[in-house]
Structure 1
Amino acid sequence: MTLLIRHAESAWNEHFGWSRIDVGLPDPPLTAAGIEQARRAVERLRHEGVRRLIASPYRRTLQTALIIAEALDLPITVDPLVRERCAFSCDLGSPPAELARLWPQLDFSGLDEVWWGGVIESWESLGARCAAFRAKMRLLPDRHEVAVVSHWGFIRGLTGAELHNTDFIRLDLAEAASLT
């Protein structure tokens, strides 16, 4: 089974968690606490048989994935299909050129200039994206050795589960997507 990992705490999560107010922070980085969460996640993932990571192109997921990848010596593939459901300011991403400047070791060539969508994504659209992800993963011969660093909304769309930062869940690719 594929593992789904929610990214570590971002600056947006830190503020929204206590205020429940969107502070208008696009594509936020991890906090110091988030960096520590990602480091601790490495030990929980060490014996899960992960051989490769797929990461959403947001800064928070890339930072989380890079911490895990460095510790476990894993390659990372960036895939906008596993991005967050665009609904808050934190869901506005960064252009590929900016991401490539920050992380030249990663390949952002498959990203559109605005890869995150421009409006609030409908639940129907998220459901279609989740179905496309399931279909894509079923075709991968190494799907049982892949961990995906993604987001609360995308993981909820795939599994119905609401994960905390750096929690992970196994995805049964045969099950239908659940948005409830």
Structure 2
Amino acid sequence: MIILRHCESEFNRLYTATGRDPGLSDPPLSPQGRVHAQRLVQDLAGAGITRILASPFTRALETATPIARALNITPEITPLVRERHIYSCDEGSTASTLCENWPHLNFDALDDIWWSPPPESDAVMQDRVQRFRQFMAQQPDAGTTLVVSHWWFLLGLCGDSLENGDWQHLHL
């Protein structure tokens, strides 16, 4: 599979500038993040992606959208790959709001409040990582699947600290 950390969000931009949590729940991509997401289309064009799994957070959906559009793939909403709830940005938008904002995506499997209660312990997050590993091990198209996720989750999955918009191939 290919794992991709979402591009820079407004939270990332403000947190980098101030070193403080700016108090933004489910922030969108920053202008720089939007440009980066568009560049990823070319970067990933030859990767053979046939499926996209995306976290329900807006920043992950906005990162996945240009790639999905270019490949004519509808992203599958996958709450297992959501971020660990530590900061304000780790509170999501309700499933009903996501349905309104992203009418072409299927959020039916989400509870209205789908994100983890804060603070999510490392053990709880690692359990999600293991459940996702087990899920992907059963997928015949795992090698051609793009997973759009977040720093803590991807660190648990691959052991590497990915910067915004970084991606890598991961063999389970």
User: Which bin holds the TM-score, normalised by the shorter protein?
Assistant: over 0.9
Aligned to 1:62: 61
Map of 2:46 onto structure 1: 47
Offset of residue 75 of structure 1: 2.2
1:106 Cα deviation after fit = 0.1
Distance, in Å, in 2 between the alignment partners of 1:95 and 1:66 is 19
1:76 matched to which residue of 2? Answer: 75
Give me the whole-angstrom Cα distance separating, in 2, the residues matched to 1:20 and 1:158. Answer: 26
- Give the Cα separation in 1 of the matches to 2:6 and 2:138: 25
Q: Alpha-carbon deviation of 1:144? A: 0.8
Q: Secondary structure at the match of 2:52?
A: strand
Give 1:124 shift.
Answer: 0.8
Q: Deviations over 1:8-36 (max 9, x none)?
A: 11100000012110010000001111110
State the distance in 1 between where 2:50 and 2:30 align.
27
Q: Aligned partners of 2:123 and 2:117: how far apart in 1?
A: 16
Q: TM-score, normalised by structure 1?
A: 0.93
Partners of 1:35 and 1:72 lie apart in 2 by 18
CA contact (8 A) 2:74 2:105 kept: no
Q: Aligned partner of 2:19: which letter?
A: R
- Which residue is equivalent to 1:31? 30
Structure 2: gaps (5+ residues): none
Aligned residues: 172
Give identity over the alignment, percent: 42
- Aligned partner of 1:22 in structure 2 is 21
- The residue correspondences of 1:1-180 to structure 2 (distance < 5 A) are 2-173=1-172
Distance in 2, Cα, partners of 1:30 & 1:146: 22
One-letter amino acid matched to 1:157: G
Partner secondary structure for residue 109 of structure 1: coil
Q: Distance in 2 between matches of 1:168 and 1:74?
A: 18
Deviation at 1:99, TM superposition (A): 0.3
Distance in structure 1 (CA, Å) of the matches to 2:133 and 2:171: 9
Q: 2:109, 2:167 → 1: CA distance? A: 26
Residue in structure 2 matched with residue 178 of structure 1 by the alignment: none
Shift of 1:72: 2.1
Q: What's the CA shift for 1:122?
A: 0.7
* Cα deviation 1:112-156 (Å, max 9, x = unaligned): 121111211111111111000000001111111100000011100
- Verify the 8 A CA contact 2:57 2:92 in the aligned structure 1: yes
Report if aligned partners of 2:52, 2:147 keep a CA contact under 8 Å in 1.
yes
Superposition RMSD in Å:
0.8
